[in-house]
């Protein structure tokens, strides 16, 4: 084909596709489009949603949304990082019935409660509402969303206690409620997750009381309970047959004898600083390939065992104990 003819053909194709195809190829479900435009209006038409032009196809042209490739229903709504977006989570999010992913993150002026209409989103797998200004409680209705896999409500102003029913979520892989103002006890039901054992992040809250011993039955891969007011024993979280990699209990008022704890070799990071631990550091810890270790500000005594990684940490991992000694602290008398 000669160049002229082919470029003419190209031009014609381009022209016809711009003029005729869009109306025919509007993939967006009209009801979903209507709901999305209501959401945009409810959020005061934020600049971040400027691509949501009613005259073009939401599936192929809009940012922040994704459609299912066969049904063309909206499956994902993601808005991230904009402090000019102000308001509350619009009730209309509950009217996107095929939503699997709802991400509203790093929107500091997104305030108000976790919208109750989210209860209608039965297909939801990812609910990430972190780093906003949300307030109110962690709603119990979340436990009805059986496909929820990632539930992240961290870095908000949530208050009240943790609903024990969250343990009923069979597909939960990660539960992040850290950095809120949650009070009350850790539910004992968190020792009976019905499905996989999720990574559990409850740090930086105002949780009180004892850690339920039922949690000892779970094999958490990552568990962070730091910076609460948890008291009493936590030795049951350890054990030779766990596969825990990251365990952070720092800055609580926990009180147990570290000498009696058995450490799994899977541990990579262990933070116990600022508690009331007694006893000494067991020799077995030299067998664990720790990358992070901190037992400072406790009531430990005796010689720091020599070997493994234990001398690779600086003295701040050990300082402010009752009578710990030996490298990297001053030698024992
Ligand atoms: C949004 O939040 C920031 C702080 O994160 C604040 O400085 C700003 O004034 C807020 N904007 C509006 C419109 O409220
Ligand atoms: C939950 O997920 C499974 C597997 O991905 C799927 O078969 C099922 O239809 C989902 N249920 C809902 C309500 O989305
Ligand atoms: C939480 O609420 C306090 C006032 O109670 C406010 O000063 C703070 O900015 C809020 N934090 C967030 C992340 O919105
Ligand atoms: C090790 O795990 C088994 C089953 O998972 C459990 O019955 C047993 O009590 C555990 N042993 C210890 C020392 O935790
Ligand atoms: C251990 O924790 C203490 C108290 O928070 C801190 O001052 C110190 O820097 C930490 N050291 C390491 C190595 O993390
Ligand atoms: C920790 O080490 C620094 C130097 O690395 C030293 O100045 C300091 O006195 C030591 N502190 C303790 C408690 O051993």
Q: Give pLDDT tens digits along the chain (333 positions).
A: 444 545 544 444 444 444 444 455 789 999 999 999 999 999 999 999 999 999 999 999 999 999 999 999 999 999 999 999 999 999 999 999 999 999 999 999 999 999 999 999 999 999 999 999 999 999 999 999 999 999 999 999 999 999 999 999 999 999 999 999 999 999 999 999 999 999 999 999 999 999 999 999 999 999 999 999 999 999 999 999 999 999 999 999 999 999 999 999 999 999 999 999 999 999 999 999 999 999 999 999 999 999 999 999 999 999 999 999 999 999 998
Contact yes or no for 103/79 (Cβ under 8 A): yes
Which residue, judged by its Cα, is nearest atom 13 of ligand 5? 317
What angle (nearest 5°) sits at the alpha carbon of residue 164, between those of residues 158 and 169? 100
Helix (H) or strand (E) holding 6: helix 3-19
Beta bridge partners of 270: 247, 293
d(CA 17, CA 243): 57
Q: How far is the CA of 181 from the centre of ligand 3 (A)?
A: 10
Nearest partner of 264 among 236, 245, 280, 249, judged by Cα: 245
Instruction: Quickly tell me which residue has 């991230």 as its tokens.
Output: 80
Q: How far is the CA of 292 from the centre of ligand 5 (A)?
A: 10
Q: 289: burial class by Cβ within 10 Å (0-12, 13-18, 19+)?
A: exposed
Contact yes or no for 58/52 (Cβ under 8 A): yes
Task: Read off φ and ψ for residue 66, nearest 5 degrees.
Answer: -135, 145
d(CA 132, CA 103): 11
Which residue, judged by its Cα, is nearest atom 6 of ligand 5? 316
Q: 144: burial class by Cβ within 10 Å (0-12, 13-18, 19+)?
A: middle
Compute CA 61 distance to the chain's CA centroid, rounded to the nearest angstrom. Answer: 30
pTM (predicted TM-score): 0.89
Distances (CA, A) of 297 to 86, 162, 316: 42, 29, 9
d(CA 40, CA 58): 13
Q: Output the six-digit token pair for 198.
A: 């999720």
pLDDT attached to residue 20: 45
Distances (CA, A) of 175 to 178, 224, 274: 9, 11, 24
CA dihedral 193, 198, 199, 204 (to 10 degrees): -50
pLDDT attached to residue 132: 98
d(CA 326, CA 333): 9
Report the length, in residues, of the chain.
Answer: 333
d(CA 64, CA 190): 34
Which residue, judged by its Cα, is nearest atom 4 of ligand 4? 241
**Does 86 contact ligand 1 (Cβ within 6 A)?**
yes
Q: How far is the CA of 249 from the centre of ligand 3 (A)?
A: 25
Pairing mode, if any, of strands 229-232 and 208-210? Answer: parallel
Q: Output the six-digit token pair for 194.
A: 């019905």
pLDDT attached to residue 24: 55
Task: Read off φ and ψ for residue 304, nearest 5 degrees.
Answer: -70, 120
Residue 215 CB coordination number (10 Å): 20
Pocket test for ligand 5, best of 272, 290, 296, 320 (most atoms within 8 A of CB): 296
What angle (nearest 5°) sits at the alpha carbon of residue 251, between those of residues 250 and 255? 80
Beta bridge partners of 138: none
Q: Encode 91-115: b = buried (16+ Cβ within 10 Å), e = exposed.
A: ebbbbbebbbbbbbbbbeebbeebb
Report the SS3 class of residue 254: strand
Pocket test for ligand 2, best of 73, 99, 119, 123 (most atoms within 8 A of CB): 123
**Does 239 contact ligand 4 (Cβ within 6 A)?**
yes
């Amino acid at each position: 084909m000669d160049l002229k003819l082919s470029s003419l053909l190209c031009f014609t194709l381009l022209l016809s596709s711009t003029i005729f195809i869009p109306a025919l190829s509007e993939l967006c479900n009209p009801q979903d489009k209507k709901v999305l435009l209501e959401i945009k209006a409810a959020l005061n038409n934020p600049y971040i949603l400027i691509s949501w032009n009613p005259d073009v196809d939401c599936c192929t042209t809009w940012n922040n949304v994704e459609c299912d490739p066969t049904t063309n229903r909206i499956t994902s709504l993601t808005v991230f990082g904009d402090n000019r977006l102000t308001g509350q989570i619009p009730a209309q999010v509950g009217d996107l019935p095929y939503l699997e992913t709802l991400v509203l993150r790093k929107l500091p002026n997104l305030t108000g409660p976790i919208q109750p209409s989210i209860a209608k989103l039965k297909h939801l797998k990812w609910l990430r509402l972190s780093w906003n200004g949300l307030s109110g409680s962690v709603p119990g209705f979340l436990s009805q969303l059986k496909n929820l896999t990632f539930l992240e409500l961290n870095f908000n102003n949530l208050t009240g206690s943790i609903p024990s029913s969250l343990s009923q979520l069979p597909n939960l892989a990660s539960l992040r409620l850290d950095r809120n103002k949650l009070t009350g006890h850790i539910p004992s039901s968190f020792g009976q997750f019905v499905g996989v054992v999720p990574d559990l992040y409850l740090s930086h809250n105002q949780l009180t009381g004892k850690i339920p011993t039922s949690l000892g039955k779970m094999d958490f891969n990552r568990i962070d309970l730091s910076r609460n007011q948890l008291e009493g024993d936590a030795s049951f979280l350890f054990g030779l047959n766990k596969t825990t990699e990251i365990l952070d209990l720092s800055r609580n008022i926990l009180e147990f004898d570290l000498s009696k704890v058995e450490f799994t070799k899977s541990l990579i990071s262990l933070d116990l600083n600022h508690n009331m631990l007694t006893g000494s550091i067991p020799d077995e810890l030299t067998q664990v390939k720790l990358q992070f270790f901190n037992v400072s500000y406790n009531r430990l005594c005796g010689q720091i065992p020599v070997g493994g990684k234990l001398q690779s940490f600086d003295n701040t991992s050990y300082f402010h104990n009752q009578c710990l000694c030996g490298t990297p602290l001053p030698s024992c008398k």
